Every structure is written in structure tokens, then in C-alpha cells.
Amino acid sequence: MKNSIKKISIVFENLEYGGMTTFIENLINSKSLRNLDVNLITNKTNKGIYSLKNNIKNKRFTLITYSTLNAPHISFAQANLFYKVLKIFGFMIRPILFLISIFQFYIILKKSSPDVILAACGGYGNFRSDSASLISAKMLNIPKRILSIHHSYSKTRFWSFFINFADKFISKSATSIIFGSKAVKLDIKKNTTLLKTIKNSEIIHHGVSPKKIKTKNNLNKIFKTNNKRILKIGILSRIESEKGHYDLIDVFNVLPLNFKKKMRVFFIGPAKKEELNKVFEKLKRYKLENYFKITGFIKANSLEIFQKLDLVLSLTRTFEGFGLSIAEALMAKRPVLVTRVGAVTEFLNNKNSTLISPNNKKEILLSLKDFVKNKKNWDLKAINGHKHIIKNFTAEVTAKKYLKHLNLK
């Protein structure tokens, strides 16, 4: 492997804390990137900045923040009249803002002078700063310009002409693409022309750090139950219908009382006010308030959180770019109940997890009953899953593949 790379700039535009934040942390903390100067360039409105500042331990890491012109950061439902008008105006001129962001990143990247620009894109298909940075990098003749796509194509009703036009510039600006899974690559190939122009592409799955980062928290208090025999089951994700939270509430409502009494459900993650209202309204209607706890976002390492649970659920209805939280749960030796969507079957099978069809409440119901009755079998699957993740999907495995890709001509 050639050692031609000394400095890398990672552009990471993001709003909510989630799997992409953990991915970035794991990548920068890896041994493979320890000998490189790493600049992480992210938007000031990124809610994962707190985690990035506290969890990245690479001594050669520098955090650079910018004011985004592309990622909407004002909730339309919660904004006052002035900000609603401002948001509408901003939406109307989005193609212009995207062009301005290209020159914004031209200035940022010129100052940092990296050998590599890695545009870490959570979901491709809209006006994004990470995409704009690749065009800027091309203008600056930065040798390696990698587009890293981790989720499905984001279809938009508006600006399709301009976005397709921008695709052409992005495809000519990037020297290669890394996909977070086969499912993501197929989705991008179906919806864009990127792969017609960019011939060098590779699939590199996410990886989990086996090291638990100790954080100051009150997890014992959050997950405390009156009875130590109560089984704690949880979903760690944003609260929204696509993530299956409402499906779980509906299923729990028809669960026999003797099963209900043996479980406590935890919804762990951020939520918009309107989503929270829907959840509380549904729980109140079903009289399930005593069985569910909404924790909100918890400032703690995911492995620490999972170790407080007996079962981790991922009930995504449509698409999963990889499913990092699932891999983290198995790293923590916790059994998982997962819907077969997106990239899930690329690393999970019936030997290491319990897989069900998406949008299938009957299968969720049967699975929960089976978990209560046969918990030991589920725990054995989790052990198999732990061994599988340790061997094939650690952060170091991912980082080594990334570094090898970066050194390709």
C-alpha cells in the first residue's frame, strides 16, 4: 500500500444525531487513520457535534464548522411567521444556494489543502453541501475525491431538472464512490446516472467499535424497573412511523396481559413534537402508559445503552442503508428482532438474529411471545451474532478498507 496520503478532509452534512455520526466517529478513531491529519468539516446545526467533540480521540483530528446553505434547520411546523416566510424563500432559491455553497467550500478546502476529500453523504439525491464540496475539490485539483453514500436515494418533487443537472457535475467531479451496502448501490444505480460516469466504485459496510466509550450518564435510573425480572425491550432511533414505533404500540395493545406484564418498552432517540404527541395519544388511547417509556436522546455510548436492554428491535418499514444500531446491539451480545429491509440480510441471518417481514404486525406479535417463552434461544443467537460482527464488521475492518480505497489510483 502506498503511503501518499497525509491529510484527509471529511465533509459531513447532518442534522440529527444518528448512525452516520457513529460511523464518522468510528472511522476517525480507527488505527488506520491515526497517522493522518483528519479535518472533519460539518455544519454548525449538526446535533451530533456534541458527540463528535467528546468521542473522537484521534490526536490529529480537527473539527471545522460552517454555516450550511443546503440543509434545512428550521422546523416549518414550529417556526413563527417570519421564519416560515424565510424558509419558503430559501426553498425557492435552493439551486442558487447550492451554487454559492460550491464557492463556500472552495474557500474552506483551499485553506485546509487536503490530499483527499471524502464526502460522507447520508442520503444522496438533493441539494447537499457534501456533494457541492466534490465540485469545489475538482476546481482545486485535489487528487482524490470520493463520494461515500450510506442511504437510499432521496427523491424530490421539485428541482428535479436542476438536481439531475448537478448530478452530471458531481459525477465528473468524484474520482470514485463508496457505497455503505449493496442495497444502497442498487438504489443509486436505479435512480441516478452516477455509475455510468464513475467507474471506480466499491461496497464497504459500516463497522462497530468493540470498545465501550465510558460516558457520564444516569442509565441505571433511566432503565430502572420495579421488578428485576421485567424484560426490557427497546428501539434506538428517531421516533417516526417509518421506524416502526407505531407498529410496536399496536402490537403491544393486543398482546395478552400475561406477556405485557413481563415487558417494558423503551423508545430511545430524538423526536419531533408532533411525533411525540402522536405516540402519547396512542399510548393513552390504548392505556399502555405504564408499559412504555420515552427517554428522548440519551448522551451515552450506544453499547452502554444496549447493555441495559434484553431485546433490541429494528422495525423499519421501507429501507435500511446498513443498520449500524443492529450491529452494535449484537456487539453488546443482545438479541435483535429486525425487519428484512435494505441491507439487513447482507449481514444478518436466522442463525444470528430473528428476521421478520416489514409492516407485518402478526410476525412482531409472534416474535415477542416467542422471546418471552424462549429467551435462552434468543440469547444464543445473540452470541452467534457477536462472533459474526467481531470477525467481519468492526470499525477497524471498515477503516482498513477505506484506507485501501483511498490509496487506489
Q: Would you place residue 74 in the very low, low, confident or very high pLDDT band (cuts 50, 70, 90)?
A: very low
Contact 339, 244 (CB under 8 A): yes
Find, among 218, 393, 227, the residue nearest to 305 by Cα: 218
Of 31-45, 81-95, 121-135, which range is least confident?
Answer: 81-95
The span from the CA of 238 to the CA of 58, in Å, is 28
Find, among 95, 68, 79, 91, the residue nearest to 14 by Cα: 68
Percent pLDDT > 70 in the chain is 92
What torsion do the CA atoms of 58, 324, 208, 28 make, to the nearest 10 degrees?
A: -20
Specify the pTM.
0.88
Q: Give pLDDT, residue 78.
A: 44
Q: Would you place residue 71 in the very low, low, confident or very high pLDDT band (cuts 50, 70, 90)?
A: low
Q: What does the pLDDT look like over 295-351, one tens digit per residue?
A: 998 888 888 999 999 999 999 999 888 888 999 999 999 999 999 999 999 999 999
Q: What does the pLDDT look like over 278-297, one tens digit per residue?
A: 999 999 999 999 999 999 98
Q: What does the pLDDT look like over 147-201, one tens digit per residue?
A: 999 988 877 767 777 777 788 889 899 999 999 999 999 999 998 888 888 889 9
Please give the residue that has the higher pLDDT: either 91 or 151. 151
